[in-house]
Amino acid sequence: MALVTLVAAAVLSGCKPEINGELGEPFDKVAGMSGTWELNAFTQQDLNSPVKEIRDLSSFYVDGTSTPLQLTFEPDGTYSVAIETGKNYFGEGGTWAFDDPAYPSFLELYSSDTLVYNLGSMVRPFDTELNIEYRRDCGGTTTVIYTFSFNRLN
């Protein structure tokens, strides 16, 4: 029985494809965030609702006449906010950073308060979409998730 197991293991390990090539250098996370981002969609998910629907509330920010919410992240670690309509969840501007520069999961904004947002995904310098999640908690439990979807302007 041991011989059969040994032969099966040898056969299966021989079937693995060889990994060729290099992954290359990791992308610069700061360069990926740098630039001006304009809001194109805003959604809300109420985690306490029995119906786990995601509501599109984009019309609170994108009305077709006003300039939508814009965030500008500078490579020097500063950021600014331009908003004409809708609630400002991002402060008046200040400095920004990642929770972990090598493997970021959170975007941290420092203005009059420290604001922390989940990154929907890490953007690379050539990506054109950025998703930021603001999670509202009640007693340590997330109750509502607001998702801000931005397009890169520059």
Supply the pLDDT for residue 3.
Answer: 61
Residues 6+ apart with CB under 8 A from 119: 104, 105, 106, 107, 131, 132, 133
Q: What is the pLDDT along the chain (154 residues), one digit of tens a residue?
A: 666 665 555 555 656 667 676 767 888 999 999 999 999 999 999 998 888 889 999 999 999 889 999 999 999 999 999 999 999 999 999 999 999 988 899 999 999 899 999 998 889 999 999 999 999 988 888 899 999 999 999 8
Domains identified in the chain and CATH numbers: 24-152 (2.40.128.540)
Residues counted in the chain = 154
**SS3 of residue 12 by DSSP:** helix
Exposed e or buried b for every residue in 132-144, given b needs 16+ CB within 10 A?
Answer: bbbbeeeeeeeee
Alpha-carbon gap, residue 27 to 132, rounded angstroms:
19
CA distances from 108 to 8, 45, 96, 116, 128 (A): 51, 22, 6, 5, 21
Concatenate the DSSP letters of all residues of 56-78 into one string: E-GGGT--SSSPPPEEEE-TTSE
Give the pLDDT confidence score for residue 8 in this predicted structure.
57
Q: Which two tokens stand for residue 77?
A: 């670690």
CA angle 74, 80, 84 (to 5 degrees): 140
